[in-house]
Amino acid sequence: MSPLTSTPLVLVDMDGVLVDLEAAFWDAFETAHPAGPRRTDGDRTVFRIDEQLDPQWRDAVRSIMAAPGFFGGLRPVPGAVEALDEMLDEGWDVRICTAPLLHNPTCASDKLASLARHFGQRWAERAVITKDKTLVRGDVLIDDKPVVNGDWTPVWKHVVFAATYNQAAPSPYRMTGWASWRQTLTPLLGRTAA
């Protein structure tokens, strides 16, 4: 429960959780580099795409992700739009908690526009954009990054949004997809009193 009210507060990451960065990245990369590595070459085992591929491709990866507009083109993950609305209906407070890619000049504004476009304006108004998610209060943070760290000890529990690159994440809490949000979160948060 939240330290100040009885309303559970759910923080939800964006890339790799609400929107599909992997698909948008590979669409752009395979178009730009037809002779380069392909998405189908194998599952990603490390979180950062630029660290997954051979070093000769690092600059190419970074320039795709740094392109203005890239983050506006990400599509919603199946079930995510419905799940966000259902969690609010559950009586929980739900906020988006996402990090900007600082070397992409339009990343933060594209993320807000993407939330408004795909999820609805009220979700853009619920966004927290920060490089340090440990500063944000919450009961849980649903995030695909194996370890979410920062300058402070977080007050939230990290619910790992399962992906091939976070199999060894240390958190005991894991969600395999939006279809199972209720089974994963209800035991952690309970329901609202009112």
Ligand X SMILES: Cc1cn([C@H]2C[C@H](OP(=O)(O)O)[C@@H](CO)O2)c(=O)[nH]c1=O
Q: Which is nearer to Mg ion, 139 or 144 (CB)?
A: 144
- The answer to whether the beta carbons of residues 74 and 114 sit under 8 Å apart is yes
Q: To the nearest whole angstrom, how small is the minimum distance from the Cβ of residue 5 to Mg ion?
A: 27
Nearer Cβ to ligand X, position 30 or 192? 30
Q: Specify the 3-state DSSP secondary structure of 2.
A: coil
Within positions 5 to 64, which residues make up the interface with ligand X, using CB under 6 A?
13-16, 21, 48-50
Residue with nearest beta carbon to Mg ion: 16
Which residues does 63 contact at the CB level (< 8 Å), separation at least 6? none
Nearest residue (CB) to ligand X, 98 versus 184: 98
Establish whether 15 is a catalytic residue: yes
Count interface residues toward ligand X (CB under 6 A): 12
SS3 content of the chain, % helix, strand, coil (to 5): 40, 15, 45
**How far is CA 106 from each of CA 82, 123, 126, rounded to the nearest angstrom?**
27, 19, 19
Out of Mg ion, ligand X, none, what residue 48 binds, judged by CB under 5 to 8 A for its kind, is: ligand X
Which position has the token pair 């209720």?
Answer: 182
Q: How far is the CB of 71 from ligand X (least distance, A)?
A: 8
- Say whether residue 139 binds Mg ion (CB under 5 A): no
Q: Read off the amino acid at residue 47.
A: F
Q: Is 139 a catalytic residue?
A: no
C-alpha distances in Å from residue 3, one per residue of 6, 8, 44, 79, 96: 8, 9, 37, 30, 19
Q: Find the part of the chain contacting Mg ion (CB under 5 A) among 57-65, 82-90, 144-152, 183-191.
A: 144-152
By the 8 A CB rule, do 164 and 158 touch? no
In this complex, which beta carbon is closest to ligand X, that of residue 26 or of residue 173? 26
Task: Residue 112: name its binding partner from Mg ion, ligand X, none (Cβ under 5 to 8 Å by kind).
Answer: none
Q: Which residues are catalytic?
A: 13, 15
Question: By the criterion CB under 5 A, which residues form the site for Mg ion?
Answer: 13, 15-16, 144
